[in-house]
Amino acid sequence: MKFKFITRHYKKSRWRLALNTAPFIVLVIIAKYFAHYFDLQFLTLNSLFTAVISANIFLIGFLITGTLSDFKESEKLPGDLSNSLSSLFDEAHITYQNKKDPIARKCMEDIFVLNQKILDWFYKNTRTDEVYSKIFSLNNYFLEFEKLTQAYFIVKMKNEQSNLRRLVTRIHTIRETSFLGTAYAIAEIITTIMIIGFIFLDLNPFYESMFFVSFVSFIMIYMIFFIRELDNPFSYYEKDGLVGKFH
């Protein structure tokens, strides 16, 4: 039988965020052109405007730093989760091979059910408390294993059960807790106001100003999308995920 586990790898292209940003840049270019055509460019470039740009870049950098730690941690959590499931299965399989007891085989089957439950949970088709309940139900087998195997193996399985709870709790926290929502809001507000300012900013020559306005707007909007991508690395229910398998 094959054992499935979630890997945090997406089928979507590395250019997905750039493509999502492109329509906004097209709107900025169109708006800039009409502002120039109807002579609506009434703002002038000054030190205050450049200070706003610098402040926004600093805020975006702060948000990236705050979300990056959870994102890096999320790289290893699915692997740790699959290792704990695999260890539980190995202990139950060894017991079954040794004693041929149907309880051990039923435990192996329930571990596969738990694995599927966790897969569904990653896609938000199962509630977190249902996963906890399924992990808790393994205690019934540990009681039966007292007469089938040594206490050391039961202790090892209990440790893996505890590790499963810890990993599920950590993944749930990363997925459901947004990093400083108010900071996101102010970054989006500043970026929006800054882009509106770019549209009505009088820069010459016009086509050079069009290039720089579209380029800076692209960077700012792209980084907002990028931060939101980092903030929830376990959003399998929103993205096309890839499910890995091992024996």
DSSP string, the chain: --EEEEEEEESS-TTHHHHHHHHHHHHHHHHHHHHHHTT---B---HHHHHHHHHHHHHHHHHHHHHHHHHHHHHHHHHHHHHHHHHHHHHHHHHHHHH--HHHHHHHHHHHHHHHHHHHHHTTSS-HHHHHHHHHTTHHHHHHHTTTS-HHHHHHHHHHHHHHHHHHHHHHHHHH--S-HHHHHHHHHHHHHHHHHHHTB--SSHHHHHHHHHHHHHHHHHHHHHHHHHH-TT-TTTS-EEEEEE-
The answer to whether residue 188 is domain-embedded is: yes
The answer to whether residue 239 is domain-embedded is: no
The answer to whether residue 4 is domain-embedded is: no
164 with 138, same domain: the answer is yes
224 with 153, same domain: the answer is no
The pTM of this model reads: 0.74
Q: Domain of 139?
A: 76-172
Last residue of a domain, one of 155, 172, 189: 172
The domain total for the chain is: 2
Pick from 187, 247, 201, 213: which is nearest to 35 by CA?
A: 201
224 with 185, same domain: the answer is yes
Q: Which residues are CB-contacts of 113 (< 8 A; sequence separation ≥ 6)?
A: 134
Query: Mind listing the pLDDT tens digit for each residue in 153-170?
Result: 889 999 999 999 999 999
143 with 182, same domain: the answer is no
Last residue of a domain, one of 124, 151, 172: 172
In this prediction, residue 108 carries a pLDDT of: 93
The answer to whether residue 65 is domain-embedded is: no
85 with 153, same domain: the answer is yes
Q: How far is CA 177 from the centre of its chain?
A: 11
Query: Mind listing the pLDDT tens digit for each residue in 186-245?
Result: 888 999 999 999 999 998 888 888 999 999 999 999 998 888 888 778 775 555 444 443
Sign of CA dihedral 153, 154, 156, 157: positive
143 with 226, same domain: the answer is no
The answer to whether residue 86 is domain-embedded is: yes
The answer to whether residue 44 is domain-embedded is: no
pLDDT band at residue 247 under the 50/70/90 scheme? very low
Q: Is it the case that residue 130 has pLDDT exceeding 90?
A: yes
Q: Is it the case that residue 177 has pLDDT exceeding 80?
A: no
90 with 149, same domain: the answer is yes
Burial of 90 (0-12, 13-18, 19+ CB in 10 A): middle
218 with 153, same domain: the answer is no
Q: Which residues are bridge partners to 108 per DSSP?
A: none
ω into 233 cis (within 30 of 0): no
The answer to whether residue 242 is domain-embedded is: no
146 with 94, same domain: the answer is yes
Q: Is it the case that residue 143 has pLDDT exceeding 90?
A: no
145 with 98, same domain: the answer is yes
The answer to whether residue 157 is domain-embedded is: yes
Q: Is it the case that residue 89 has pLDDT exceeding 90?
A: yes
114 with 90, same domain: the answer is yes
Last residue of a domain, one of 151, 172, 193: 172
Query: Mind listing the pLDDT tens digit for each residue in 29-88?
Result: 999 999 999 999 998 888 888 888 888 888 888 888 878 888 888 888 988 999 999 999
In this prediction, residue 152 carries a pLDDT of: 85
107 with 158, same domain: the answer is yes
